[in-house]
Amino acid sequence: MRVDPTSFNPVLGYKLDPGEPGLAYSAPASMSILRVLTQEVSNYLAFKKEAMRQGGFIISGGIYLDLRKRGGFLAAVAGKTKVFMYIPGDKNTLESKNLQNSEQSQNQPDSKQEIERKIQELQQRITQTQDPLEREKLERELTLLEMALSSFKASLKLPQFLIGSLLDTMV
């Protein structure tokens, strides 16, 4: 029995999403995983570059490949890159912009003032709530924020992604 090389290792064609940088070239099934993975890694790096340009960073993300049998190989027929970015000041309202301007004049870091503000909000909510489960949840959040604030006072530098994720979970 003779195996036809074109049916055992077919050439797969790829398309890029609209606006996605890169070249849409085909690859044999045996090389398809490498081809798709290379494109998705370049997309991930582009997202990372964009986050850094905006003063943020990638919190988490991943590259996902759609693998299917093509000919005699397990081939990547599609890929997807998903990232979650944190960009400070992305959700600013006019009120918070005014708050930041006054904080900068006091020569204190924005995140320290933000943590202090959230601590005050949580303390008010704890005194107002009657539900014991809600109170316990609020007290845990308060403890986390107090730990972050104490690191500022002790001149310890927490990674920015940790401070950002703490603030985002408390919103």
What pLDDT, on the 0 to 100 scale, is given for residue 18? 85
pLDDT above 60 (res 92) = no
State the Cα–Cα distance between residues 2 and 160, nearest whole angstrom.
61
* Domain shared by 99 and 64, yes or no: no
Element (H, E) at 70: strand 57-70
Are residues 161 and 86 in contact, defined by beta-carbon separation less than 8 angstroms?
yes
- Nearest alpha carbon to residue 39 among 74, 31, 71, 60: 31
* Domain shared by 82 and 119, yes or no: no
What pLDDT, on the 0 to 100 scale, is given for residue 171? 46
* Domain shared by 61 and 107, yes or no: no
Number of domains in the chain: 2
Instruction: State pTM to two decimals.
Output: 0.51
State the Cα–Cα distance between residues 125 and 11, nearest whole angstrom.
62
Are residues 119 and 153 in contact, defined by beta-carbon separation less than 8 angstroms?
no
The Cα-based distances of 55 to 58, 99, 116, 119 in angstroms read: 11, 19, 22, 25
Phi-psi label, residue 100: left if phi above 0, alpha if psi -120 to 50, beta otherwise:
alpha
* Domain shared by 68 and 127, yes or no: no
From 25, 59, 86, the end of a domain falls on 86
State the Cα–Cα distance between residues 21 and 38, nearest whole angstrom.
12
From 34, 66, 86, the end of a domain falls on 86
* Domain shared by 114 and 161, yes or no: yes
* Domain shared by 64 and 122, yes or no: no
* Domain shared by 81 and 19, yes or no: yes
The Cα-based distances of 166 to 31, 46, 75, 124, 125 in angstroms read: 42, 26, 40, 19, 18
* Domain shared by 67 and 41, yes or no: yes
* Domain shared by 37 and 99, yes or no: no
* Domain shared by 128 and 66, yes or no: no
* Domain shared by 80 and 99, yes or no: no
What pLDDT, on the 0 to 100 scale, is given for residue 12? 92
From 86, 108, 128, the end of a domain falls on 86
Structural domain of 77: 5-86
Task: Over range 42-71, report the average pLDDT.
Answer: 90
* Domain shared by 21 and 80, yes or no: yes
pLDDT tens-place string over residues 112-165? 777 788 888 888 888 888 888 888 888 888 887 777 777 656 555 555 555 555
Task: Over range 16-42, report the average pLDDT.
Answer: 89
